[in-house]
Amino acid sequence: MTSVVAPGPGIVDHIGARRELVRRTAQRSLGRRRVLGRIAVVLCAVAVAISLAPLIAIVAYTTARGVHAWSVDFFTHVPTPPGIPGGGISNAIVGSVVIVGIAAVIAVPVGIVAALFLLERQGRIAATLRFCADVLAGVPSIAMGIFAYTVIIEPIGHFAAIAGSFALAVLMLPIIVRSSEAAMRAVPREVWEAGLALGVRRSRVVRSVVLRGALPGLVTGNLLALARAVGETAPLLFVTSSTLWALNPTQPMGALPLYIYSFATEPSTAAQTTAWGTALLLLVLVLVLSIVARVVANRLNRRAR
């Protein structure tokens, strides 16, 4: 039999001292980590506050200046001549709906089909298209207005809302392409391949599997692109402007951003009040579209799970 030798007092004291050293070191390290964690949380909170401060200031100031212009007449009447109080922006509301609606009809299908092509193809052509989409996203909007003026307005000889829709569609296109491609790439490739392995046609797999799985991202990207187009002013300055009711896209139309620009530059107090009221309406529309995009995407994600 082997005998067990008990450790001597010196060894026991040494082990105890080591344990105490480890415990104190761990406590100091834990305290340091807690302090650094609290500092990081405070810095993140400050960064969030700094990021939200401009938005809150813009919303508060625009609401304070523009809410006084809102009334039933403001939403149902056309503008009055300069210097005469009253009037409204009904034609601008209708014009913005028509112009942005046509732009969405043009840009959304083209953008989704282009995203499908980039999803399926690899190589230089796809890389070139992605590069072009990224460059197009950074092109100034006023350049789009000049381009639409040259391509559409000069040949027909007069302002037309369709030219504004064309310019906005080109602005929306890169956002839709890149966001749609990212949404489709989020769909597991195994699901795509499983559909093909069952003998289903590729078009049916794309329609029933890929597009359905990417629907939350597609909705979010399209609504955000639409929100950007609603507030664009520079492209419309070159191609369309009117204070009359019009539903024909080949004729001039009013638009909310144009009214903000034109009324804000007039010396009349009534005109400037109308400009602030229009700015508030445009701000509300953009915020609503952004919130709707998030809500719809979250609900679709929950339903897909």
Token couple for 17: 């001292």
Give residue 11's pLDDT.
62
Q: Give the per-residue pLDDT at 7.
A: 54
Q: What is the radius of gyration, based on Cα positions, of the chain?
A: 30
DSSP of 12-32, one letter per residue? HHHHHHHHHHHHHHHHHHHHH
Which position has the higher pLDDT, 48 or 23?
A: 48
Q: How confident is the model at residue 239 (pLDDT cuts 50, 70, 90)?
A: confident
Q: Where are the alpha helices (DSSP H) in 67-160?
A: 72-76, 90-120, 124-137, 141-148, 154-156
pLDDT tens-digit readout, 264-279? 888 778 888 888 888 8
Share of residues in the chain with pLDDT > 90 (%): 4
Output the CA–CA distances (angstroms, integers) from residue 130 to 72, 107, 142, 182, in the order listed: 47, 16, 22, 12
**Closest Cα to residue 142, out of 237, 242, 257?**
237
Q: How would residue 44 be classed by pLDDT, with cut points 50, 70 and 90?
A: very high
Q: Which of 221, 242, 240, 231 is nearest to 293 (CA)?
A: 221
Residue 85, pLDDT score: 66
Looking at per-residue pLDDT, the higher value among 84 and 159 belongs to 159
The residue-averaged pLDDT of 163-192 equals: 84
Show Cβ contacts of residue 242 under 8 Å, excluding neighbours closer than 6 positions: 91, 95, 159, 251, 252, 253, 254
Residues 6 or more apart in contact with residue 294 via CB below 8 angstroms: 220
pLDDT confidence of 42, banded at 50, 70, 90? very high
Residue 47's pLDDT band (boundaries 50, 70, 90)?
very high
Spatial distance between the Cα atoms of 221 and 111, rounded to a whole number of angstroms: 10
Per-residue pLDDT band for 50 (boundaries 50, 70, 90) equals very high
Question: Is it true that domain 72-304 has CATH number 1.10.3720.10?
Answer: yes
Between the alpha carbon of residue 257 and those of residues 6, 100, 232, 263, the distances in Å are 89, 12, 7, 10
pLDDT tens digits, one per residue of 182-233 = 888 877 777 777 777 777 677 677 777 777 777 778 888 888 888 888 888 8
**Chain length of the chain:** 305
Domain-by-domain residue ranges, the chain?
27-69, 72-304
Tell whether the model's pLDDT for residue 156 goes beyond 80: yes
For residue 1, pLDDT over 60 is answered with: no
Task: Locate 231 and state its tokens.
Answer: 């507030």
